[in-house]
């Protein structure tokens, strides 16, 4: 059983932000920023790409509600919604989960850098779209 399944089953304790029959939201142990929360389906899927569309839709509806609640209650200025998919992308727990990372200050420890383009956009588009 994966670590998040153990949390869902109550074998490992967690601080629950939200719970219903299908979804659990818990405070992330790292607290990258105050209120950093993980929202996950109770049913195990390894990652985002494995989830059925309708279940992902329902999950994201809850993510939006919980993010809104966290931003308001924590007096954050915004939030990042993040889904790491695959080890290369930083996924360390193979049970799909959505990070809600409240943001208080643009100089905090969270950063994503979007670099200048060095690729041929038309070739990329062809690769993505060709059958």
Subset of 51-110 contacting Zn ion (CB under 5 A): 95
- 3 makes contact, choosing from Zn ion, ligand 5GP, none, with CB < 5 to 8 Å by partner type, with ligand 5GP
90 binds, among Zn ion, ligand 5GP, none (CB under 5 to 8 A by kind): ligand 5GP
Q: Which residues ranging from 3 to 32 are in contact with ligand 5GP (CB under 6 A)?
A: 3, 12, 14, 26-30
Nearer to ligand 5GP, 27 or 58 (CB): 27
- Angstrom distance (rounded) from CA 56 to CA 75: 28
Task: Decide if residue 37 touches ligand 5GP (CB under 6 A).
Answer: no
Number of helices (H), then strands (E), in the chain: 3, 5
* Residue 84 binding partner per list ligand 5GP, Zn ion, none, with a CB distance cut-off of 5 to 8 Å that depends on partner kind: ligand 5GP
Burial profile 14-48: b = 16 or more Cβ within 10 angstroms, e = fewer: beebbeeeebbbbebeeeebebbbbbbbeeebebb
Indicate which residue of 36, 44, 95, 97 is catalytic. Answer: 97
| Interaction of residue 54 with ligand 5GP, rule CB under 6 A | no
- C-alpha 31/C-alpha 102 separation (Å) is 10
Nearest Cα to Cα of residue 75 among 52, 46, 105, 50? 105
Q: Which is nearer to ligand 5GP, 62 or 95 (CB)?
A: 95
Which residue among 84, 103, 104, 110 contacts ligand 5GP (CB under 6 A)?
Answer: 84
Decide: 38 and 28 in contact? Cβ < 8 Å.
yes
């Amino acid at each position: 059983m994966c670590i998040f399944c153990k949390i869902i089953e109550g074998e490992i304790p967690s601080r629950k932000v939200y719970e219903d029959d299908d979804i659990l939201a818990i405070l992330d142990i790292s607290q990258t920023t105050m209120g950093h929360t993980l929202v996950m389906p109770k049913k195990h899927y390894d990652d985002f790409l494995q989830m059925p569309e309708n279940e992902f839709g329902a999950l994201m509806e809850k993510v939006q509600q919980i993010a809104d609640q966290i931003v308001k209650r924590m007096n954050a200025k915004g939030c990042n919604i993040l889904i790491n998919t695959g080890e290369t992308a930083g996924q360390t727990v193979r049970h799909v989960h959505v990070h809600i990372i409240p943001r208080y200050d643009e100089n905090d420890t969270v950063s994503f850098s979007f670099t200048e383009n060095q690729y041929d956009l038309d070739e990329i588009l062809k690769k993505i779209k060709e059958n």
